[in-house]
Amino acid sequence: MASIGISPWEFKLEHTDYNRIVKEFGLETFTDELLARMKSPHRLFRRKLVFAHRNFQAILEAQEKGEEYVVLSGMMPSGRFHFGHKLIAELLAWYQGQGARIFIPISDIEAYVVRGLKMEDIVKIAVDEYILNYIALGIDLTKPEKCLIYSQWKNEHVKNLAFKLSVKVTASTFRAMFDFVFEPSKEDVEKGRGSDTIGKIFYPLIDAADILSPQLPEFGGPKPVLVPVGVDQDVYIRLCHDLAPKFGMVKPSSIYTKMMCGLQGPGTKMSSSKPETAIFLKDPPEVADKKLRDAFTGGRPTAKEQKELGGQPEICVPYMFLLFHFEDDLLKKVFEECKAGTLLCGECKAIISERVCKFLREHQEKLEKARDILPTVIEEQPFLYKKQELKGI
Amino acid sequence: MASIGISPWEFKLEHTDYNRIVKEFGLETFTDELLARMKSPHRLFRRKLVFAHRNFQAILEAQEKGEEYVVLSGMMPSGRFHFGHKLIAELLAWYQGQGARIFIPISDIEAYVVRGLKMEDIVKIAVDEYILNYIALGIDLTKPEKCLIYSQWKNEHVKNLAFKLSVKVTASTFRAMFDFVFEPSKEDVEKGRGSDTIGKIFYPLIDAADILSPQLPEFGGPKPVLVPVGVDQDVYIRLCHDLAPKFGMVKPSSIYTKMMCGLQGPGTKMSSSKPETAIFLKDPPEVADKKLRDAFTGGRPTAKEQKELGGQPEICVPYMFLLFHFEDDLLKKVFEECKAGTLLCGECKAIISERVCKFLREHQEKLEKARDILPTVIEEQPFLYKKQELKGI
């Protein structure tokens, strides 16, 4: 077996130019220097799947000085919980283990106002798909002081902060930031775009209030807050960087992770509403197995070529599952044998599928047990749905 | 004394053309027929100071059928409580006596977001100027089921309704209704108008949510709601007429009263922040007396002319105090003697001032007693300020 002299994660995933993103958005690259300051970093950092950040130093400093900090990640209660969501949930669980306080806003005002979902569906999805999976993935939701999970509809502190923030931004600024349409132009009309609703226009302030709320006096005042985000959500971080100093708050920190692509390969997206694009954490193992076997791989056109040239894990969906989710040993073994041309796709898929299915079986047992913990969560969390709203869930 | 064959309130007040207002705003005139359907109507109706309405029939029908209805009037917690505010407070107390449930929203989000006031000042004014005067004027605030008085900041039902309403109005509609500036034109810039804040643009939905909130399931579902408003606030009523049917609610009813003018006479305004324009209910009687004696009257240039032609109560500020606030007997006597030229302004002012000062002395004693009731109000009302917010008030 040929040594390839490169670690299993020194590859670009999909066809994304992360250097370009860092430049375009004015982010800071996540350097080895930062990594070296972290104690036993989570695999997302170790494998350089976190590629950029803003102000991550503030989080490291808080950890080094033993000072309070928060890690916050919202959830959109629509669709189903997949391996992309798992990643962030595990990161939150890991940070909770490190002593961070966790905030999990349920974006249920957004789901209603911007996406037009029905409240009963929103509550069902938030509980059945998200909360249960969070518990099963190891986040302790039973103690609000360790992890506050809340409905935006129920958290008056967040809504009131949104109204306070609303005094400091103009319509003109928001149009430029979010591409809103106020008075539709001829071009807008041709594109089928009408005037946006007041709800949609106000909404980013609720998102910003989520991010800034851990710094409210009610939650202990100014402190570093880390928000793992996709690049498409960086605009909310920039909005918070504008607003925080005007309210005596610290600018939030953010990290940007590479994204898993859809099962159809680089350039496609995992979608929580399209079962063919993603593996859901409630998929029966045989369904997941089928999905993985149908997934796009980095295999060569013929077995002969593959043996000569080796495979291409950097564009391979099954490999991506190992890279984002599973053990170093297995990852390394598969990577090296694939590149060496000794492991062909059929056999490799069987190995990876076995690992994924093992996880799913174990996880689905934990999901069952999570139901027993749910009543305690509902009872202890001050801004979550009430018992009577959960009937039939 | 000449008989003048006209009742003391068949006059226009100030220089306002109420017929023009009714036409321009598409209101309905408040007719004698409606008046005849009311049981012992409040003097505001009897004296035709209520000149127009929308959908007042719904309120009469509810009363006639013994069905539930609500009377709602908000307060802006800025400035001082004057005789204009007294009028609406007394109307609310009267409706409460008739069996209506009263809603009093404190516009403290508006005070903060639109007017830029400080929260501590807002709370102090709401309590010291408004709540105490409401109690002293006979509104029972100790039972939320009879009168719900609430802070917009504290009432999650109102805020959540505002977000739900926000889905049904576009930026374009709001610009037309409220004359908002999104992208300032050259003309706007010349007038010193910049882009409006998102807070100001969203705010009308909180106002609409106040008006529609009595029809929420939490408050017993759809029902007639009467809102006494100034013509300048009719736009909020129109907004609610648009929105109500989209949420399965009844279109609110509204009544429009003539307004007292400022102490400087017709065409001037009472202002809660300008002591020279209005008599405040906390003014010491000697201050009120001085203000009344300096007020604009309908007197003729000379005593001789006045004796020949009679005075002009229809443009007279002291007379206006009688007309809006005091007994029929006194009103009639002053009106007839003034028109007959037998009562000159100096003597008349003394009579009216005596009546006003008597009211103020009695009212200010009630204000003292109202302080004893305040703790019960604070304790019983679910969406009002908490004890600790009232320190030093």
Closest B-chain CA to A193 = B170
- Nearest chain B Cα distance for residue A215, angstroms: 19
Look at residue A314 in the predicted model and tell me its pLDDT: 87
Task: Flag if B181 and A201 touch (Cβ within 8 Å).
Answer: no
Nearest to A225 by CA among A237, A243, A233, A234: A237
* DSSP assignment of A279-342: -BTTS-HHHHHHHHHHS-----SSHHHHHHH---GGG-HHHHHHHHHS-HHHHHHHHHHHHHT-
Helix (H, G, I), strand (E, B) or coil at A227: strand
A116 in contact with B at a CB cutoff of 8 Å? Answer: yes
B174 in contact with A at a CB cutoff of 8 Å? Answer: yes
Task: Flag if B113 and A163 touch (Cβ within 8 Å).
Answer: yes
Look at residue B5 in the predicted model and tell me its pLDDT: 43
Q: Taking 60 as the threshold, does the pLDDT of residue A11 lie above it?
A: no
Q: Which of B159, B166, B183 sits opposite A172 (nearest CB)?
A: B183
Task: Flag if A159 and B159 touch (Cβ within 8 Å).
Answer: yes
A247 in contact with B at a CB cutoff of 8 Å? Answer: no
Instruction: Count CA within 13 A, CB hemisphere, residue A36.
Output: 3
A38-58 residue pLDDT tens: 989 999 999 999 999 999 999
Task: Flag if A202 and B197 touch (Cβ within 8 Å).
Answer: no
Task: Flag if A182 and B184 touch (Cβ within 8 Å).
Answer: no
End-to-end CA distance of chain A: 53
Look at residue A1 in the predicted model and tell me its pLDDT: 34
Percent of chain A with pLDDT over 70: 96
Task: Flag if A197 and B169 touch (Cβ within 8 Å).
Answer: yes
How many residues in total does chain A contain? Answer: 393
Angle, helix A328-340 to helix A317-325, in steps of 10 degrees: 150
Closest A-chain CA to B204 = A198
Q: Which residue has the tokens 């995933």?
A: A13
Report yes or no: B21 and B234 within 8 Å, Cβ to Cβ.
Answer: no
B326 in contact with A at a CB cutoff of 8 Å? Answer: no
DSSP, res B128: I
Task: Flag if B171 and A182 touch (Cβ within 8 Å).
Answer: yes
Q: Which of B154, B160, B170 sits opposite A196 (nearest CB)?
A: B170
Task: Flag if B166 and A116 touch (Cβ within 8 Å).
Answer: no
Measured between alpha carbons, how far is A348 from A345 in angstroms, rounded to an integer? 5
Task: Flag if B175 and A183 touch (Cβ within 8 Å).
Answer: yes
B95 in contact with A at a CB cutoff of 8 Å? Answer: no
How far, in Å, are A75, A391, B18, B50, B142 from residue B259 at the CA level?
51, 52, 11, 10, 30
Which residues 351-390 of A have a C-beta within 8 angstroms of B? none
- Nearest chain B Cα distance for residue A385, angstroms: 14
Q: Of all helices (H) and strands (E), which one includes residue A253?
A: strand A253-257
Task: Flag if A181 and B202 touch (Cβ within 8 Å).
Answer: no
Work out the pLDDT band at A343, boundaries 50, 70, 90: very high
Report yes or no: A292 and A264 within 8 Å, Cβ to Cβ.
Answer: no
Closest A-chain CA to B184 = A172
- Nearest chain B Cα distance for residue A115, angstroms: 10
Which of B170, B193, B196, B218 is most worth mutating to test chain A (most A CB atoms within 10 A of its CB)?
B170
Which residues in chain A are closer than 8 Å to B153, comparing Cβ atoms?
156, 160, 163
A168 in contact with B at a CB cutoff of 8 Å? Answer: yes
Task: Flag if B154 and A153 touch (Cβ within 8 Å).
Answer: no
B182 in contact with A at a CB cutoff of 8 Å? Answer: yes
Q: Is B76 left (phi over 0), alpha (psi -120 to 50) or beta?
A: beta
Which residues in chain A are closer than 8 Å to B196, comparing Cβ atoms?
170-171
Measured between alpha carbons, how far is A142 from A377 in angstroms, rounded to an integer? 5
Look at residue A4 in the predicted model and tell me its pLDDT: 40
Work out the pLDDT band at A217, boundaries 50, 70, 90: very high
Closest B-chain CA to A197 = B170
Q: Which of A116, A171, A184 sits opposite B195 (nearest CB)?
A: A171
* DSSP assignment of B232-295: GGHHHHHHHHHHGGGGT-PPPEEEEE---B-TT-TT-B--TT-GGG--BTTS-HHHHHHHHHHS
Measured between alpha carbons, how far is A311 from B178 in angstroms, rounded to an integer? 64
Task: Flag if A195 and B113 touch (Cβ within 8 Å).
Answer: no
Q: Which of A112, A167, A171 sits opposite B113 (nearest CB)?
A: A167
Task: Flag if A163 and B109 touch (Cβ within 8 Å).
Answer: yes
A236-253 residue pLDDT tens: 999 999 999 999 999 999
Which residues in chain B are closer than 8 Å to A110, comparing Cβ atoms?
none
A257-276 residue pLDDT tens: 998 999 999 889 999 999 99
Measured between alpha carbons, how far is A335 from A341 in angstroms, rounded to an integer? 10
How far, in Å, are A186, A365, A372 from residue A132 at the CA level?
47, 11, 10
Q: Taking 70 as the threshold, does the pLDDT of residue A12 lie above it?
A: no
Q: What is the ipTM of this complex?
A: 0.91
Look at residue B38 in the predicted model and tell me its pLDDT: 95
Mean pLDDT of A293-300: 94
Closest A-chain CA to B161 = A153
A194 in contact with B at a CB cutoff of 8 Å? Answer: yes
Full-model pTM: 0.93
Which residues in chain A are closer than 8 Å to B110, comparing Cβ atoms?
none
Q: Identify the weakest region by mean pLDDT among A2-16, A328-342, A364-378, B248-262.
A: A2-16
Q: Which of A116, A154, A195 sits opposite B170 (nearest CB)?
A: A195
For chain A, the average pLDDT equals 94
Report yes or no: B70 and B223 within 8 Å, Cβ to Cβ.
Answer: yes
How far, in Å, are A176, A257, A260 from residue A230 at the CA level?
20, 7, 11
B302 in contact with A at a CB cutoff of 8 Å? Answer: no
Which residues in chain A are closer than 8 Å to B205, comparing Cβ atoms?
198
Which residues in chain A are closer than 8 Å to B177, comparing Cβ atoms?
none
Which residues in chain B are closer than 8 Å to A194, comparing Cβ atoms?
170, 172
Task: Output the tens digit of pLDDT for each of chain B's 393 residues.
Answer: 333 445 555 555 555 788 889 999 999 999 999 999 998 999 999 999 999 999 999 999 999 999 999 999 999 999 999 999 999 999 999 999 999 999 999 999 999 999 999 999 999 999 999 999 999 999 999 999 999 999 999 999 999 999 999 999 999 999 999 999 999 999 999 999 999 999 999 999 999 999 999 999 999 999 999 999 988 899 999 999 999 999 999 999 999 999 899 999 988 999 999 999 999 999 999 999 999 999 999 999 999 999 999 999 989 999 999 999 999 999 999 999 999 999 999 999 999 999 999 999 999 999 999 999 999 999 999 999 998 888 877
Closest A-chain CA to B160 = A153
Q: Taking 90 as the threshold, does the pLDDT of residue A75 lie above it?
A: yes
Look at residue B235 in the predicted model and tell me its pLDDT: 95
A181 in contact with B at a CB cutoff of 8 Å? Answer: yes
Which of A170, A218, A386 is most worth mutating to test chain B (most B CB atoms within 10 A of its CB)?
A170
Which of A163, A167, A218 is most worth mutating to test chain B (most B CB atoms within 10 A of its CB)?
A163
A163-185 residue pLDDT tens: 999 999 999 999 999 999 999 99
Q: Which of A153, A163, A175 sits opposite B182 (nearest CB)?
A: A175
Mean pLDDT of A190-209: 96
Nearest to A283 by CA among A294, A273, A271, A275: A275
CA A7 to chain centre: 25
B57 in contact with A at a CB cutoff of 8 Å? Answer: no
